[in-house]
């Protein structure tokens, strides 16, 4: 806990049996209270490894629901067990759990509502093995999104994120896709609702066991990102009504005191 606030790590898993133990063992349990792992019907022994490690809550989907569908289960369970701050950590060891403290303290102390671990702050992405085409696409899409969403984020495409309970309770996440574009739809909703986002720089590791989508799936994801950005701007301008935004009331932007 931090200042009496319960910290929960959620792990959306698929074929993570080879990397789960290494990821789990680096979680800072001096502040993390509980861990939830949701296995998206993996053909490997992810669930068995999770149970051997003694993970608090292990859920297995009876059929594959997709990356976004997995996260929906993660966040629903986290709220059910009383989480105040939720960290989404991939169990494939591509992102280091050693950054969890840097992710959750700004939220627990009320500085930000959301924290992102950005791989493109500094030189960590390419140094960690991110393919050049993914790096270029990441930067290009992020530039476009910043223009359309009127933001100044370093990266929209990281899979390492932390949220306050209020964010997860407020957003209509069930309206979002069950595929990879869920992440960007969620950030669009967060921006639309005027939640405040902070970022920390994050090294990353690309290796055989780490999950990564192929080129064709990357193209599909990129097209989805463009769609989210354009529909966000159209919704803001009153040129259309889109389901992922229509049930969100724009909150009054409250300036948070900077403690750093």
Give yes or no for residue 28 having a pLDDT over 80: yes
Please report how many Cα atoms fall inside a 13 Å half-sphere around the Cα of residue 220, on the Cβ side.
Answer: 10
**Residue 236 or residue 130, greater confidence:** 236
| Cα separation, 138 vs 115, whole angstroms | 18
In a domain, 253, yes or no: no
Q: What is the per-residue pLDDT across 118-127, written as a single tens digit (0 to 9) for each?
A: 988 776 677 7
Domain count, the chain: 1
Domain that holds residue 84: 7-246
The pLDDT assigned to 209 comes to: 57
Look at residue 259 and tell me if it is in a domain: no
249 falls in which pLDDT band (50, 70, 90)?
confident
What does pTM read for this prediction? 0.89
The answer to whether the CB of 38 falls within 8 A of the CB of 73 is yes
Q: Backbone phi, then psi, for 60, in 5-degree steps?
A: -125, 125
| CA–CA distance, 184 with 191 (Å, rounded to integer) | 10
**Domain for residue 254, yes or no?**
no
Per-residue pLDDT of 67-100, as tens digits, reads 999 999 999 999 999 999 999 999 999 999 999 9
**∠ CA 21-26-32 to the nearest 5 degrees?**
110
What is the pLDDT confidence band of residue 216, given thresholds at 50, 70 and 90? confident
Is residue 252 situated within a structural domain? no
The answer to whether position 1 is within a domain reads no
CA distance 227 to 32: 36
Is 30 inside any structural domain?
A: yes
Query: Does residue 218 lie in a domain region?
Result: yes
- pLDDT band, very low/low/confident/very high, at 255 (cuts 50, 70, 90): very low
- The distance in angstroms from the start CA to the end CA of the chain is 20
CATH code of the domain in which 107 resides: 3.90.550.10
């Amino acid at each position: 806990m931090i200042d009496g606030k319960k910290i929960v790590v959620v792990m959306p898993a698929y074929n993570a049996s080879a990397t789960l133990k290494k990821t789990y063992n680096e979680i800072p349990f001096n502040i993390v209270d509980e861990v939830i792992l949701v296995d998206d019907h993996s053909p490997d022994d992810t669930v068995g490894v999770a149970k051997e490690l003694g993970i608090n809550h292990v859920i297995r989907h009876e059929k594959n629901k997709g990356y976004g569908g997995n996260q929906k289960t993660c966040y629903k369970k986290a709220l059910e067990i009383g989480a105040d701050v939720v960290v989404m950590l991939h169990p494939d060891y591509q992102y280091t759990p050693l950054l969890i403290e840097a992710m959750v303290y700004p939220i627990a102390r009320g500085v930000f509502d959301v924290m992102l671990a950005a791989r493109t702050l500094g030189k960590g992405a390419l140094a960690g093995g991110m393919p050049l085409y993914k790096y270029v696409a990441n930067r290009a899409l992020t530039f476009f999104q910043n223009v359309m969403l009127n933001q100044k984020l370093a990266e929209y495409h990281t899979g390492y994120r932390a949220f306050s309970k209020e964010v997860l309770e407020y957003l209509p996440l069930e309206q979002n896709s069950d595929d990879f574009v869920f992440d960007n739809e969620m950030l669009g909703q967060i921006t639309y609702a005027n939640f405040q986002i902070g970022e920390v720089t994050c090294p990353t590791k690309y290796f055989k066991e780490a999950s990564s989508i192929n080129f064709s799936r990357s193209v599909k994801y990129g097209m989805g990102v463009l769609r989210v950005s354009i529909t966000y701007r159209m919704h803001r301008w009153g040129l259309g009504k889109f389901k992922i935004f229509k049930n969100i009331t724009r909150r009054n932007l409250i300036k948070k005191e900077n403690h750093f």
